[in-house]
A and B are shown apart, each in its own frame.
Chain A
Amino acid sequence: MRLPLQVPTLAMAAALALPGCGDRADAATLPADAAAASAAGAPGVPGEVFLDHAIHAGQARIPCLACHVWADRSPVAGLPSGRKCMGCHKFVAKDKPGVQLLAKRVEEGRPLRWERVFSVPDFIYFSHRMHVRARVDCKECHGDMTIARVIRQDRPFTMGRCLGCHQERKATQDCVACHK
Chain B
Amino acid sequence: MNDTNASSAPRGSAIERDTLATLSRPSRTYWILLGISVALVAIGGVAWTLALRRGLGVLGLDEPVMWGALITTFVFFIGVSHSGTLVSAILYFTRSPLRSAIGRSAEAMTVITILTAGLYPIIHIGRSWLFFFVLPYPSDRQLWPNFRSPLTWDVFAISSYVLVSGLFLYMGMLPDLALLGRQVRGWRRPLYRFLSLGFAGTDGEWRLFETAYPIFAAIVIPLAVSVHSVVSWDFAMTLMPGWHSAIFAPYFVAGAIFSGIAMAILLLSALRRGYRLHSYIKAEHFELLSKLLLAMSLVMTFVYATEFFMAFFRGSEAEMEVFRSRAAGPYAPMFWLVVACNSVAPLACFWSRVRRSLPALIAIAVLVTVGMWFERFVFIVTTLARNFDPQNWGTYRPTVPELLICLGGFGWFAMLFLIFVKVFPSMSVAETLQAEYAAPAAEVEASHA
Contacts and interface: CB of A to CB of B under 8 A. Distances in A.
A2 B140 CA distance: 16
Interface in B87-146: 127, 129-130, 139-142
A161 B130 contact: no
B141 A163 contact: yes
Contacts of A159: 140-141
A167 B127 CA distance: 30
Interface in A75-125: none
A122 B129 CA distance: 20
Contact residues of B: prevailing secondary structure: loop
A2 B129 contact: yes
A158 interface: yes
Contacts of B140: 158-161, 163-164
Contacts of A2: 127, 129-130
A47 to B, nearest CB: 41
Nearest to B139: A160
Interface in A107-166: 158-161, 163-164
Interface string A35-73: 000000000000000000000000000000000000000
Interface residues of B, number: 7
Interface of A: 2, 158-161, 163-164
A179 to B, nearest CB: 11
13 contacts: A2-B129, A2-B130, A158-B140, A159-B140, A159-B141, A160-B139, A160-B141, A160-B142, A161-B140, A163-B140, A163-B141, A163-B142, A164-B140
Nearest 9 CB-CB pairings of A with B: A160-B140, A159-B141, A160-B141, A163-B142, A158-B140, A2-B129, A159-B140, A163-B141, A160-B142
Contacts of A158: 140
A158 B141 CA distance: 8
Contact residues of A: prevailing secondary structure: helix
Given A2-B129, A159-B140, 6 more contacts: A2-B127, A2-B130, A159-B141, A160-B139, A160-B142, A163-B142
A163 B142 CA distance: 8
A13 B347 CA distance: 69
Contacts of B129: 2
Nearest to A167: B142
Contacts of A164: 140
A158 B139 CA distance: 11
Interface in B140-179: 140-142
B121 to A, nearest CB: 19
A160 B130 CA distance: 18
B80 to A, nearest CB: 34
A4 B148 CA distance: 28
Nearest to B127: A2
A161 B139 CA distance: 11
Interface in B14-49: none
A160 B138 CA distance: 11
Nearest to A161: B140
Interface string B176-202: 000000000000000000000000000
A160 B140 CA distance: 4
Contacts of B141: 159-160, 163
A174 to B, nearest CB: 14
Contacts of A160: 139-142
Nearest to A173: B142
Interface in B274-302: none
Nearest to A156: B140
A9 to B, nearest CB: 23
Contacts of B142: 160, 163
Nearest to A159: B141
A107 to B, nearest CB: 49
Contacts of B130: 2
Nearest to B130: A2
A163 B143 CA distance: 11
